[in-house]
Homo-oligomer: A and B are copies of this chain.
Amino acid sequence: MFKQNYHSSLLQSAVDELASLPGVGRKSALRFALHLLKQPKENVEKFGRSIINMREAVLYCSNCNMISDTLLCKVCSDLKRDHSLVCVVESIRDVLSIENTLLYNGLYHVLGGIISPMDGIGPSDLSINQLIKRVEEGSVTEVFLALSTTMEGETTAYYLYKLLNRFSIKISTIARGVGFGDELEFTDEVTLGRSIQNRQPFVPLKQ
């Protein structure tokens, strides 16, 4: 690849680092670096420090593995939430997405990935044993698998189902169907087929 000369080794290494961010090319990285160069020193110091601090001092909840300021996260230590319901997700980001809906009141379990032999990720790389232990403790009555509808997601869900099936708990998964705002014409056959098989009672909007 063509190696740009940045005229300054300091600029060069800042661009190199910024270009390591996901989806950021060298052009955007240069734009970021030149933007930072124009900011007051204190602001740039704060910028760099906040990132270093986050990585140094971050905590993960000892119960659900969610990112947290405390040993037990806000969700797990909230007595108003339903501690008998555990939603299993792949990542921290999924917890944030589900929390954004304001429609879930149970706890979480962050797996830290999904089973993906192609990427060399097996069940032992995920926090599956920890999940089983939580169920063994006895207070969980439902495990809600909220994994991606990809091959890897389905494989992981099936693997967890086989492990959890021996407990007398409910195992549920997120509803699959045609998304809001989607047109039937452009919906793939699998989604459309499943949403016909799993058709639901019609509920008028005004009730």
Contact = CB atoms under 8 A, between A and B. Distances in A.
Interface residues of A, number: 59
Copies of this chain held together in the complex? 2
Interface of A: 4-11, 13-14, 16-18, 20-24, 28, 30-37, 39, 41, 44-59, 66-69, 73-75, 91-93, 95-96, 99-100
A47 B20 contact: yes
Contact of A92 (B23, B34, B41, B51): B34
A46 B32 contact: no
Nearest to A100: B4
Given A47-B17, A67-B7, A30 B100 contact: no
B37 A48 contact: no
Contacts of A10: 50, 53-54, 57-58, 69
Contact of A58 (B11, B50, B51, B99): B11
